[in-house]
Amino acid sequence: MINKVILSFLGVFVFVNFTYSQSIQDIINQVSNANLQVSVVELSGEQVAMINGSMQIITNRIQSNNDLAADYIEERLAAFPNLTINVQEFNTVGKNIIATQLGQTNPNDIYIVCAHYDSVTTYCADDNATGVSAVIEIAKILSAQCIDNTIIYALWDEEEIGLQGANFYAQQAANETNGNTRDNILGVINMDMIGYDGDAPGTSGDNDFDIDVRDFDNSLGIKDDLLNILNTYTFDLNPIVVNPGTTASDHARFWNQDYSAVLVGESWETDDQTPDYHSSNDRAEDIDFQYMTELTKLVTAYMTTKAGLITLDNTVTQTASTLSSNDNSASYQWYNCDSNASISGATNQTYSPISSGNYAVEVSNGSCLELSPCVNFSVLSSEEFTTEEIKIYPNPVTSVLKIDNNIQTELTITINDISGKIINTFKSRKEYFEIDFKKNVSGVYFVNVATKTKSSTFKIVKE
């Protein structure tokens, strides 16, 4: 609650979309089979979708007639945080949808995850509503994270008539004429047809998929990274490395510019591609969504690894004289929670308040930013209570902490845990009262007892 007050006061709502401290496994686990199914049936025109404010059917994605599909993709991506969306029109009807999530540490180091959204005929669920749906799902998950390197989520047009959209993009990226600098694209993963697996579960060939690669720039390194990820985390997938890989999809346009790229998709190499290729029989009902989910998880893991997750620690440690942020590699700004104001000059990892009150620290890395909870801090006054005035017992405590108040003045009691987080605060003027410690976990607590003129902090151990 107090966090929100401070954030609104400072007007920095834009930064609060990030969630932190997730492992790569946590992120892999977010890939949703159900989300992928919804995207595939909407993109392939099996079901109506909300586009431009009304429910509509994407009747097909053929190049001259796929603006509705482009609008759908653009709107889906625009709903996610931290993305800048650019519609790149490269001829009268061709347009790529490009969503950029800027890296906070190395914004010029770029990784691209992509798929083509155009089709040769109606439906074309596998080719390539599957790849587009995977890119949207990855964008949904990763856009909530704060990252070191830039990720571009790209959906290409006019793949089926000569890899036109990707060709335009890759040429622009590599262009060094007229003072342009070559984009530092470090890895491209193209997903084209990731939904067909004809082999029965448990039989030979089940879960086969192809990694198509050739020796351009560090393309072989991407293949190695994917194989390492397959060994590090658990997937129901069997990789088939195809080298020299096919040039019949968008990644080849990046090879042409000597960028590192691979294709990930169902296995043409083991003759396990959809029998309904480039036909209107290529329908969502024939998609193996479990297999498609596994491939999406694999590419999610790769993109997350390459993006580099930035985690910020927003906890605070308190000693008798200082507050200290537990994040060792951030920028800091301390706040007075009671006045909702930043403290001028308080930009070090530690801060020593000059008056008692509630304090918070904002930790930031680039534009990634997180605020700590407010921590109650008592400046040790010369006037502490004598043991005759205030008595706290037993210590250690197991269930009930007892306080004798012999000064007959209202006391403000604040209980902090070891990290400085306030777990309870209340006032009492009774001569004797009890604090229930039964529900508190074992450990050290600081119990501050204060009047207008005196203050004492007691270190209490809960057993």
383 by Cβ neighbours in 10 Å (0-12 / 13-18 / 19+) ranks as exposed
Q: Return the number of the residue (145 or 190) whose C-beta is nearest Zn ion.
A: 190
Q: What is the closest distance, in whole angstroms, from the C-beta atom of residue 278 to Zn ion in the complex?
A: 9
Q: Return the number of the residue (158 or 183) whose C-beta is nearest Zn ion.
A: 158
Q: Return the number of the residue (192 or 294) whose C-beta is nearest Zn ion.
A: 192
Stretch that binds Zn ion, among 66-74, 82-90, 121-129, 211-219 (CB under 5 A): 121-129
Rounded to whole angstroms, the Cα distance separating 70 from 371 reads 38
Q: How many residues bind Zn ion (CB under 5 A)?
A: 3
Stretch that binds Zn ion, among 185-193, 300-308, 349-357, 370-378 (CB under 5 A): 185-193
Asked if 89 contacts 165 with a C-beta cutoff of 8 angstroms, the reply is no
Which residue, chain included where needed, has tokens 């209202």? 410
Q: What SS3 state is found at 410?
A: coil
- Name the token pair of 316: 């605070």
Q: What is the closest distance, in whole angstroms, from the C-beta atom of residue 57 to Zn ion in the complex?
A: 21
Q: Return the number of the residue (282 or 417) whose C-beta is nearest Zn ion.
A: 282
Q: What is the closest distance, in whole angstroms, from the C-beta atom of residue 250 to Zn ion in the complex?
A: 8
Stretch that binds Zn ion, among 123-131, 225-233, 367-375, 422-430 (CB under 5 A): 123-131
For the chain, the distance separating the N- and C-terminal CA atoms, rounded to the nearest angstrom, is 30
Written as one letter, the residue type at 315 is T
Q: What is the closest distance, in whole angstroms, from the C-beta atom of residue 373 to Zn ion in the complex?
A: 50
Q: What is the closest distance, in whole angstroms, from the C-beta atom of residue 266 to Zn ion in the complex?
A: 11
Q: What is the closest distance, in whole angstroms, from the C-beta atom of residue 128 to Zn ion in the complex?
A: 4
Q: What is the closest distance, in whole angstroms, from the C-beta atom of residue 296 to Zn ion in the complex?
A: 16
Q: What is the closest distance, in whole angstroms, from the C-beta atom of residue 375 to Zn ion in the complex?
A: 55
Q: What is the closest distance, in whole angstroms, from the C-beta atom of residue 265 to Zn ion in the complex?
A: 8
Q: Return the number of the residue (20 or 277) whose C-beta is nearest Zn ion.
A: 277
Q: Which of 67, 219, 73, 90 is nearest to 163 (CA)?
A: 90
Q: Return the number of the residue (136 or 330) whose C-beta is nearest Zn ion.
A: 136
400 by Cβ neighbours in 10 Å (0-12 / 13-18 / 19+) ranks as exposed
Query: Which of the 8 DSSP states describes residue 143?
Result: T
Stretch that binds Zn ion, among 44-52, 119-127, 170-178, 216-224 (CB under 5 A): 119-127
Residues 6+ apart with CB under 8 A from 198: 272, 275
Stretch that binds Zn ion, among 34-42, 72-80, 102-110, 122-130 (CB under 5 A): 122-130
Q: Can residue 208 be called a binding residue for Zn ion (CB under 5 A)?
A: no
Stretch that binds Zn ion, among 124-132, 137-145, 197-205, 306-314 (CB under 5 A): 124-132
Q: Return the number of the residue (132 or 185) whose C-beta is nearest Zn ion.
A: 132
Q: Which of 252, 234, 72, 97 is nearest to 162 (CA)?
A: 252
3-state SS of 253-286 is HHHHCCCCEEEEEECCCCCCCCCCCCCCCCCHHH
Q: Which of 241, 292, 285 is nearest to 263 (CA)?
A: 241
Enclosing H/E stretch for 166: helix 164-174
Q: Is the peptide bond before 373 cis (omega within 30 degrees of 0)?
A: no
Q: Can residue 127 be called a binding residue for Zn ion (CB under 5 A)?
A: yes
* 459 bridge partner residues: 446
Q: What is the closest distance, in whole angstroms, from the C-beta atom of residue 139 to Zn ion in the complex?
A: 19
Stretch that binds Zn ion, among 84-92, 188-196, 320-328, 454-462 (CB under 5 A): 188-196
Q: Return the number of the residue (117 or 359) whose C-beta is nearest Zn ion.
A: 117
Residues 6+ apart with CB under 8 A from 92: none
Q: Which of 118, 147, 204, 121 is nearest to 366 (CA)?
A: 147
- Name the token pair of 277: 């290729």
Q: What is the closest distance, in whole angstroms, from the C-beta atom of residue 259 to Zn ion in the complex?
A: 20
Q: Return the number of the residue (118 or 370) whose C-beta is nearest Zn ion.
A: 118
- Name the token pair of 143: 């856009």
Q: Return the number of the residue (127 or 327) whose C-beta is nearest Zn ion.
A: 127
* Span 366-395, contacts to Zn ion by CB under 5 A: none
Rounded to whole angstroms, the Cα distance separating 252 from 262 reads 8
Q: Can residue 128 be called a binding residue for Zn ion (CB under 5 A)?
A: yes
Q: Figure out which of the listed residues 192, 217, 294, 327 binds Zn ion, where binding follows CB under 5 A.
A: 192
Q: Which of 451, 450, 415 is nearest to 436 (CA)?
A: 415
Q: Return the number of the residue (127 or 137) whose C-beta is nearest Zn ion.
A: 127
Residues in contact with Zn ion by the rule CB under 5 A: 127-128, 192
